[in-house]
Homo-oligomer: A and B are copies of this chain.
Amino acid sequence: MLSAACRDSIRAMIYIANLSKKEKYKDRFISIYKIARDLGLSFYFLSKNFQKLVKAGLLESHRGPQGGVKLLKPPSKIRLIDIVAVIDGMDFFNNCILGFEKCSDENPCSIHNLWADKRRQILSMFEKTTLEDAIRNIEKFENIKV
């Protein structure tokens, strides 16, 4: 459902949000190299994907020593759907699961009524969940990588 690019981006955004809480990183830029290393992601791939988030206004970037990226809004104002929309687009939520152009609530394909309900719930989850919500669960997660 999520592309690899989107999956990595969400992980990285949650990581940044979490770091930003700590006094040491408050309002500072966090280097993409560090993020990729800490999360076990590809620096190249992550940098490339972050460029879209910067253009979309979710991240601010800064070059040079002490440079990196930081959130432009507080974690409570950044929703997972904002990241998904930028990286993957909204096709998943807008298009018929069987690929019919004309499928809609008014003219439903043979599984539209079943699927539309699930899709709405997924959308709702991504709309309701913010980076703030996500970082609340991090402490409990005993994985090395956030």
Contact = CB atoms under 8 A, between A and B. Distances in A.
Contacts of A118: 118, 121-122, 125
A100 interface: yes
B98 A10 contact: yes
A143 interface: yes
Interface in A79-106: 80, 92, 97-100, 102-103
Interface stretch (A26-34, A48-56, A107-115): A107-115
13 contacts: A2-B97, A4-B99, A7-B98, A7-B99, A8-B99, A100-B145, A102-B142, A103-B141, A108-B137, A108-B140, A109-B143, A110-B136, A118-B118
Question: Which 10 A/B pairs are nearest by Cβ-Cβ distance?
Answer: A110-B134, A110-B137, A1-B1, A110-B138, A118-B122, A102-B143, A7-B99, A11-B98, A114-B125, A109-B141
